[in-house]
Structures are given as structure tokens and as C-alpha cells.
Amino acid sequence: MLQSSLSRQAMVLDEVRTIIWESDPTGQQLTNATGCCTALLGCNADDWYRPGYWQSRIHADDRDSVLIEFQENIRRHQDHRLEFRMIRVDDSVVWVENAIKVIVDNGDVVAMRGALVDITDRKRLEHELRQSQKMEAVGRLAGGIAHDFNNVLTVISTYAELMHGRLDVTDENLRFVEAISTAADRATSLTHQLLVFSRKSLHHKEFLDLNKIVSESESLLRRVIGEDIVLITQLAGELGKIRTDKTHLEQVILNLALNARDAMPSGGRLTLTTREVEIEIGSDELAPGRYAELTVADDGVGMDSDSMLHCFEPFFTTKPIGSGAGLGLSVSYGVVSEAGGSIRVDSELGTGTTFGILLPIVDSPDTQLTASTPSLDNQARVVVLVEDEPGVRKVARMALEVNGFSVLEAESGPAALQFAAQPLLAIDLLVTDLVMPGMSGQELSRNFRKQIPNLPVLFISGFGQSTELGVSVENPLDSFLQKPFTANKLIEAVNAAITDT
């Protein structure tokens, strides 16, 4: 009976990866050890009884601080807990918690007892949570910066376009205006990437076949990675549909391929693999269910642990100055997260890098409809323009008036409501910023429609449509225009919004 009970106890300790131990007063020599003595470090059970063995397996970076605290608590006769890393026989790292009780008799330490528990999984989850929280905070910062810059770029781009239209083709100032427009376009590309990372960009989601996306990308990838790199694709026989922005997903694949190319300056192998994965137990990042997995693996120089820790952060790069903005992986992180998936990296210096992407498989409809937008005569069209940023409001009004619209402008939602209460104005369209202090664009549109039920609305924003912001354009009377925009893009969006109604 006793033997059976001890066997069950040993089995339980092994399953929870715990060692119950006793030692001499110094803690150097274990006198008893029960539990996962072999499984924890991969050593022989008898090794634990060697003097100083467990201390010798403490990670070099932790050893001094752990032993100092250990000896200090013995001196104080104080029970304590220590968390530290240990090195297994195969040189892999395991996190442990050592809960220690100091046994005292007549004022002297006579023994030590404790439980050494494997907490590697807990530490991994804590790290993933911290990383997720950090990326969320960086994303909010990046999105806010991009939003502010998009307001500035809207003013620059629109004025440049209006000025361009007033100059003769022979005017020597034309080249300066074109240079301004080109610089604004480059800046717009950067802010767009920041918004993608922060998951506040405009996404055109559609149902996609991951295998088809990878296959269609092959010819482009072969051109950009060079002839000294062998491209291999290993596609699953059949995958369910995923739902995300096609252009953004293609950009993710290209970003990862370019990173792999740079990691293989002397050539190598780049392998893209797809398969279906079933997640049975969910996590903070992924819900249980079916996922399509894409892995992108190279046999290049690899990354160290610090680079893996920071590689998805905006502007982090190990490349020389001028060789990249450090946004490729952060954009990829944003695209995958927006699609409800996850992206991970496994790498080791000298052996290569593997990126793994999981995207949820969803049910797709059989057909998707598209519509075209005709042009119209703008004369006598009345537009209410609501924008809290003075520079954007001024240049948007100018662009609308130059194109024949009558404009009623307001700097806030409450200020604009006066126009809704005047039926003689015959308002054709409400153009409003989505995110404004006091009253959002969506709230303003609802108030307008109480007076003008079928009024079309064009939302503009330095952010994109985002469920995180509580912002999405779902009403068929609603349209959306991403900042920064030019005069031509604004007029096209206004015409389309009015025509669709």
C-alpha cells in the first residue's frame, strides 16, 4: 500500500515537473530528491546527490545573484522563493522556481527542504503577454504619429496639386511643385506603413486562397531574391479560405522574402510552406479553430535572441544605415494581427530563420459584387465640410470650391448641426472627419440624418477604418477617404459619394 502511494506521488511530481528535495544545512549536498530528477535537466537521478551539482547547473548569468540571496536567507533563517534559469544536459535552458524552507533547531540551521518547479511554460506566457502589451503600446504611438502627419501631408499634397494646375507647362516653377508632390508621396508611403503596423489603416478584406497567393507571388519573388537563391514552395493539397487584404498579404510575403535575401548574401535556399493547423487550446493571440499556416524559412545568417525580441518593432533594423527603414516586419506584424492571426520567429545564429504565420480559416460566400462610379456635374452641389484641423479644412474647402461645389464649413460636430436644421440649404453631402473632439463623425452623421434621412456621408481620417477605434463604414450611404489625399482624390470621392445615392 505504501509503495503504491509513493509510486503515485512520484508519477504526479513527474507530470508537474517538480522535484521535492532535502539538503544539508549549507544547501550544497542534497540528502533526498524525489520527482522529475531525470526529466528536468536530462541528467541521471544520482547526479543530484553530488555536492554542489544543482548550483553548477544554474545559468551563468543568474548564478552569482541566486547563490548570494540563497546564502543570505540561510543566514537569516528565512524561508524564500527564487526564480532562475538552469542549463540542461543538452544545453537548452529551463526556468525554475525554488521554494525553500530553512529548518532551524535550537537557533541553528539543521537542514533545508524545498520544491524545485519547472516554470518554463509560465515564463514563456509572461514574456508573450509583455511583448503583446509592448507592441500594442508602440502601435498606438505609431498610429497617433501617422494620423498627425497625415493631416500635415494632406495640406502639402493638396496645395501642391492646386498650384500645379495653375502653372503653365513651360513655367520653371513647375519642377519645384512636382518635387514637393514626390516628397509628399514618399512620406505618405511611410505613414501608411505605420498605420498598417498599428492596425489603423484602411483594409479591403476579401476571401482568399493562401496557396493561390503564394503561387502568384513566385515569379515576383524569383526576380527580387536573385539567381543565387533557390526558391522552393511546398503547398498543402487543399486549404480553407482566409479573409484579409490581398495587397497587404502579398506585401507580407515580399517583406519576408526580402529579409531572407539579405540574410543570404552568398546565396542559399528560401522555402515557403503552407498547411492547415488545428488549434485546440486558445491563447491571448489565437482562438481555438482551424488555421492556414505559412512558413517562410531561409538558411542564412540567422538572428540572435535580442534581435528576435525586437524584430517586430517599428524602425528596428540590423541593416546598415540607408539600407531600409526597419518597417518591413512591423508592417507584417500589423497585417497578420488585423487578420486575426499571429506571426512568430524562430532563429539561431548561423543556422537560418523561420517565420511562421497563422491565419484563421473562415467560411466564404460564393460571390462578391463590385460597383462602378460615374462622374457628375458639380454645379449647385452643396457640401457641409466638418474638420477640426484648420489647415486641412481650409485646403479641402479650396479644392471643393475650385471644382464648383458650394461649401459650408465647421470646425466641430456641434458647430455643424446648425446647417442640418436649415432645410432651405438643400445639402447634398456631409464630408466629416471621423475622429474629432466632442462629437465623432459617426455621431454627427446620425444627427444629420435625423433631419435629412438619406444624406450621403463621406468620412475622412488620418486613421483608417478600424474596429479598434469603433470606426467602420457599414451604412451603404457612407463612404471613406483616407488621409492624406490630393484635390483630385477628394473630388473623386465626393462625386462617388453623391452619385451612389
CATH number, domain 2-118:
3.30.450.20
CATH architecture of 382-499: 3-Layer(aba) Sandwich (3.40)
Burial class of residue 63 (count of CB atoms within 10 Å of its CB; 0-12, 13-18, 19+): middle
What does the block give as the cell for 209?
486562397
pLDDT one-digit tens code per residue, 344-396? 999 989 899 999 999 999 875 543 333 333 344 555 689 999 999 898 899 89
**How far does Cα 471 stand from its chain's mean position?**
19
Q: Which of 405, 396, 408, 401 is nearest to 376 (CA)?
A: 405
* Residue 160 near residue 298 (C-beta atoms within 8 A): no
DSSP letters spanning 291-331: EEEEEEEE-SS---HHHHHHTTSTT---SPTTS--S-HHHH
Is the CB of residue 416 less than 8 Å from the CB of residue 386?
Answer: yes
Tell me the pairing of strands 478-482 and 457-461. parallel
**With 0-12 CB in 10 A as exposed, 13-18 as middle and 19+ as buried, what is 133?**
exposed
**Cβ-contact 73, 102 below 8 angstroms:** yes
- 35 grid coordinates: 520527482
Residue 425's identity, in one-letter code, is: L
Whole-angstrom Cα Rg for the chain: 31
pLDDT, one tens digit for every residue, the chain (501 residues): 444 444 554 454 555 589 999 999 988 889 998 888 888 898 998 999 999 899 999 999 999 999 999 999 999 999 999 999 999 999 999 999 999 999 999 889 999 999 999 999 888 888 777 766 666 676 666 667 777 778 888 888 888 888 888 888 788 888 888 888 888 887 776 676 666 555 555 556 788 999 999 998 888 888 888 889 999 999 998 888 998 888 788 888 988 998 899 899 999 999 999 999 998 876 667 888 999 999 999 999 998 888 888 888 776 676 654 445 556 787 788 888 888 899 999 998 989 999 999 999 987 554 333 333 334 455 568 999 999 989 889 989 989 998 889 999 999 999 999 998 887 888 999 999 988 888 989 899 999 999 998 899 999 887 765 444 444 455 555 888 888 888 888 999 999 888 865
Tell how strand 205-208 and strand 229-234 pair up: unpaired
pLDDT given for residue 195 in this prediction: 63
Q: What is the pLDDT of residue 5?
A: 47
pLDDT score, position 157 = 86
> What are the two backbone dihedrals, phi and then psi, of residue 143, each rounded to the nearest 5 degrees?
-65, -40
Q: How far apart are CA 493 and CA 481, in angstroms?
A: 7
Cβ within 8 Å of residue 61, ≥6 positions away:
85
CB 403 within 8 A of CB 450: no
Q: Which residues pair with 115 in a beta bridge?
A: 20, 99
Q: Which three cell numbers stand for residue 145?
A: 504619429
**Does 1.10.287.130 match the CATH number of domain 124-197?**
yes
Q: Are 30 and 19 in contact (CB under 8 A)?
A: no
Q: What is the CATH topology of the domain spanning 205-360?
A: Heat Shock Protein 90 (3.30.565)
17 DSSP 8-state letter? T
Other Cβ atoms within 10 Å of 181 Cβ, number: 18
Say what the pLDDT of residue 34 is: 84
Of the candidates 186, 274, 270, the residue with the CA atom closest to the CA atom of residue 224 = 270
Nearest CA to 430 among 441, 414, 421, 418?
441
Strand partners, 303: none
The Cα–Cα gap between 188 and 257 comes to 24
Q: What is the pLDDT of residue 139?
A: 65
Q: So what's the pLDDT on residue 200?
A: 52
442-451: Cβ within 8 A, 24+ apart: 442/470, 442/471, 443/413, 444/386, 444/413, 444/416, 444/417, 445/478, 447/413, 447/417, 447/420, 448/384, 448/416, 448/417, 448/420, 450/420, 451/420, 451/421, 451/423
For the chain, the domains span 2-118, 124-197, 205-360, 382-499
pLDDT value, residue 406: 92
**How far apart (Å, rounded) are the C-alpha atoms in residues 131 and 137?**
10
For the chain, give the number of residues: 501
Burial category of 441 from C-beta neighbours within 10 Å (exposed 0-12, middle 13-18, buried 19 and up) = buried
Q: Which DSSP letter does residue 21 get?
A: E
Contact 404, 413 (CB under 8 A): no
Judge contact between 19 and 35, C-beta under 8 A.
yes
Distance CA 496, CA 378 (A): 12
Q: Count of alpha carbons within 13 Å of 79, Cβ hemisphere only?
A: 8
pTM > 0.75: yes or no: no
Residue with cell 514626390: 182
pLDDT of residue 490: 92
Residue 155: count of CB within 10 angstroms of its CB: 20
